Structure 1
Amino acid sequence: MTPILVVDDEEMIRIAFETFLKDEGYVSLSTGDADSAMVLIKEHRPEIVFLDYRLPGRDGLDLLKEIRSAEPDAAVIFMTAFGAMDVAIKAMQLGAYEYLGKPLDLKKVHAIIKRILQGKKNLELTEKNVTPGNPAALGQIIGNSPAMQEVFKMIGLLTTQDVTVLITGESGVGKEMVARAIHENSPRKHKPFVAVNCGAMPENLLEAEMFGYEKGAFTGAENRKPGKFEFAGGGTIFLDEIGEMQFSLQVKLLRVLQEKVFERIGGNTPIQADARIIAATNKDLFKEVVVGRFRKDLFYRIHLINVHLPPLRERREDIGLLVDHFIQKGSVDLGRTIRGVTREAMERLIGYDWPGNVRELENQIKRAMVISRENVLPEYAFELNSDYPQGRDDSAIQRLDMAVRNQFEMLLKSKESDQAIFGNVIGSVEKILIKEALDRTNHNQANAAQLLGLHRSTLRKKCKDHDI
């Protein structure tokens, strides 16, 4: 039978608890002061302690510290009739499992006891089957799925081939981690890795950030400032969200790729560009070229090698590995010992679509570790919003007629491609995209428009133009 200790200086509270606990089948222990509480704890080692804040001689916070030191596995529920925020915060900082205000709700008390005991049972089951994690794995890209094995193979190849790389995938899949892995395993690993977010600043600031500027180049340019390309030197420059780069700046980047030189803003001295370029985007750059938002010549230059990272919902078999990895990482960051998650929680994590991908999963694990006081994270500690916008289905784009795509890519490579022919190909591709989207959505125009990233009115017009 489970021993439960109640430490409260009010006799009526202790009597009420004793009656309730015995009726529920638990061993009831109670006392009204701190010293006798520690005696009972050392003799009976209770699994659960209900501790009042106001005690004769000492306050409950002092006793809480002593209990946590003497019996760290005991779950301590802190109680007080004084709803002071600082007391609640301090109690949780000192390791209280839960904080309850008085008057107590016995239904809530019952639920907490059940939750604690179920958590301890889950911990015992998990420890029987747990495989100790490898601390050296922290910081590495995690995945045993076939899709991720292909990514690992590509990383291996690209560490020995010094070429421009384009990494594609939805937000949160880990594109920068792949870029860093390529850099850190290449001959350039002892040189800088410099990341630039192309979607995080206006065009003029991005240009200054990338290429630097001379003194007096513009108002406020009081001194010469080297840019990221210059700082990267013979290392790697990572251009994240390159699909957001403005058209005019794309021209300047193209020159760097073609001629391996650039100038600072306001300068006319060519500077050698020695850095390897790795770009990334969550957009379909093929489609961006089709609609005229991305230069086809730049697309051809950076699309030499494409590493595609699948969304988490397409590699659900990796979720368990990632959960273990983030629990290990979070245990180090938060100073907690977490053994895993409950079976119910894991089923829910695997069944969720993860619109924010690996980044969202890591945040959810860390949140659960902060919210939950159990050593095995329960389902309630995760806040998974089924109404959150789900990841975009790119299958319509991926399943384009290959003949049209090949024809289009040949035109990209051709310097003499006729604009009229190019326009016809664009029209063909667009028609295929629309028909595919309509087929996949049972001709629901609203859903098809969402799939294609268009407004419904735009889709209607295009359907009319293409006689669909």
Structure 2
Amino acid sequence: MKQEKKKIKETILVVDDEEGILEWLKIALEKEDYEVVTALSGEEALKIARKKYFPCVITDIKMAGMDGLQLLKKLKEEDPDIIVIIITAYGTFESAVEALRGGASDFITKPFRIGEITFRLKNVFERERLRRVNIFLKEKITKKEDDVIVGESKKMKELLDLVDKVAKTDATIMIYGETGTGKELIARRLHNKSYRKNEQIVTLNCSALPETLLESELFGYKKGAFTGAEHNKKGLFQIADGGTFFLDEVGEISSKIQVKLLRMLQFHEIVPLGDTKTVKVNVRLIGATNKNLEESVKKGEFREDLFYRLNVIPVYIPPLRERKGDIPLLVQRFVEKISKRLKINRKEFSSGAMNMLMDYNWPGNVRELENCVERSIILQDSEKITEGDISLIIHTDIPVKEEITLKDLEITAIREVIKKCSGDKIKAAKVLGIHPSTLYRKLKRLFSD
């Protein structure tokens, strides 16, 4: 049976200095399935809005003390994306225009019927939804070509069958796989096969950011939370609301962020940095790691309760060395994609070159294979790539001794690439197919021992 998307009530803050109007609006809007909080003044509304997240505020324009326009300005300063609907008396059209210029989403003229205000609410929420969908579709168009998963081997068929089966649920998924196996591709397939497919998928590599920056990116922050926080910023969990959030290298997060992530999974809410109010989020979480999280739990490096929350359905991606039969298909796919991107004629791999690719163990998995194909296409002038061309790229001429380690091979490969790039580490990182920050970390780790 198809699972229905969980519906979270939209919360609205209604502001008016007339208690009778407030009570009437609260009762009427709650009948329309909105969650309603009321305030009798602009000052009270601002205090409430600073303690609890509201996607929408309905406020009268004329009130004693802080009026609706002043409240609008304050709300927009703290949350530029907040929806504000202004209620104005008949004959004050100029004030309504001023409100729209100040960022109000709509205005309603008194007297009005409740049907009119619910109609306007549906319109502004729909406009906001379409704005987010438009952003999502633009991103989806650019990602579509790269989302293709290639594989006809038994292990890949079993993996994709499992992915398609669990995608239809809303369970939290944990993807395990070595670096370069395609964990993000699997996460995108899970999203695209789920009922959330028309919403966006947000991705973040936890190991790419320091703890303080990672925390503010995930959960957002309030104006003044730290030096340089000049305005409120939504976190990625809020941006992913209604869709899917893919957290790569989740095993690298600190104990502090583990606690906040556990809260999100338990209560579907977050607290931005520097704030005390909670924000409800409706997100399906997909985690990924190349670590053994059970071992991390035993060592006290990862919370056991968070592990069980994340590991509801584990998905294991086989390394390329365990599905070598897929290599010819992958090479063909990469040749087509790279030739199109570089706007050059497609090149052919000789049988000897293909055999060499099949014999190699690919410690960097599919990502390393793609980099090898791209370098072959760029560096070789002839239309056919030979065995000799491949041996220069994957270093099969390195004598392998029984005692050689993966670390030795990694050091040799990095040294040779940096040497060929004349010491340019940015260029070397591009050739190796890794981010410059990753290369610097590897250099520090490998050459400091």
Tell me the TM-score range normalised by the shorter chain.
0.5 to 0.7
**Does 1:148 find its partner at 2:140?**
no
- Please give the alpha-carbon distance, in whole angstroms, between the structure 1 residues aligned to 2:248 and 2:146: 23
Q: Residue 199 of structure 1: SS of its match in structure 2?
A: helix
- Please give the alpha-carbon distance, in whole angstroms, between the structure 1 residues aligned to 2:337 and 2:220: 37
C-alpha spacing 1:144/1:137, structure 2 compared with 1 (3 Å): farther
Q: Does the 8 A contact of 2:177 with 2:316 survive in 1? A: yes
| Corresponding residue number in structure 1 for 2:301 | 293
Q: Does the 8 A contact of 2:201 with 2:244 survive in 1? A: yes
1:1-400 alignment, distance < 5 Å: 139-382=147-390, 383-386=393-396, 390=406
Q: Does the 8 A contact of 1:260 with 1:273 survive in 2? A: yes
C-alpha spacing 1:367/1:246, structure 2 compared with 1 (3 Å): same
- Please give the alpha-carbon distance, in whole angstroms, between the structure 2 residues aligned to 1:258 and 1:353: 41
- Please give the alpha-carbon distance, in whole angstroms, between the structure 2 residues aligned to 1:278 and 1:272: 18
- TM-score, structure 2 normalization: 0.55
C-alpha spacing 1:389/1:357, structure 2 compared with 1 (3 Å): farther
Deviations, residues 107-144 of structure 1 (Å, cap 9, x unaligned)? xxxxxxxxxxxxxxxxxxxxxxxxxxxxx987411111
Deviations, residues 369-421 of structure 1 (Å, cap 9, x unaligned)? 011122222123221035696499xxxxxxxxxxxxxxxxxxxxxxxxxxxxx
C-alpha spacing 1:251/1:138, structure 2 compared with 1 (3 Å): closer
Q: Does the 8 A contact of 1:355 with 1:391 survive in 2? A: no
Please report how far the alpha carbon of residue 176 of structure 1 lies from its aligned counterpart in structure 2 after TM superposition. 0.3
Return 377-386 or 244-253, whichever deviates more: 377-386
Unmatched tracts of structure 2, length 5 or more: 1-143, 399-403, 409-449
- Please give the alpha-carbon distance, in whole angstroms, between the structure 1 residues aligned to 2:182 and 2:348: 23
Deviations, residues 191-236 of structure 1 (Å, cap 9, x unaligned)? 1111111111111111100000000111111110000000011011
Unmatched tracts of structure 1, length 5 or more: 1-135, 393-468
- Please give the alpha-carbon distance, in whole angstroms, between the structure 2 residues aligned to 1:138 and 1:240: 17
Deviations, residues 35-55 of structure 1 (Å, cap 9, x unaligned)? xxxxxxxxxxxxxxxxxxxxx
Please report how far the alpha carbon of residue 162 of structure 1 lies from its aligned counterpart in structure 2 after TM superposition. 1.0
- Please give the alpha-carbon distance, in whole angstroms, between the structure 2 residues aligned to 1:138 and 1:247: 34
Deviations, residues 318-368 of structure 1 (Å, cap 9, x unaligned)? 111101111111121122222531111111101111111100100110110
Q: Does the 8 A contact of 1:338 with 1:377 survive in 2? A: no
Deviations, residues 253-296 of structure 1 (Å, cap 9, x unaligned)? 00100111111111122111211100000101011111111111
Q: Residue 208 of structure 2: SS of its match in structure 1?
A: coil
- Please give the alpha-carbon distance, in whole angstroms, between the structure 1 residues aligned to 2:273 and 2:249: 22
Q: Which has the larger radius of gyration?
A: 1
Letter in 2 for 1:385: H
C-alpha spacing 1:389/1:220, structure 2 compared with 1 (3 Å): farther
Please report how far the alpha carbon of residue 159 of structure 1 lies from its aligned counterpart in structure 2 after TM superposition. 2.2
- Please give the alpha-carbon distance, in whole angstroms, between the structure 1 residues aligned to 2:161 and 2:221: 40
Q: Percent identity, please.
A: 44
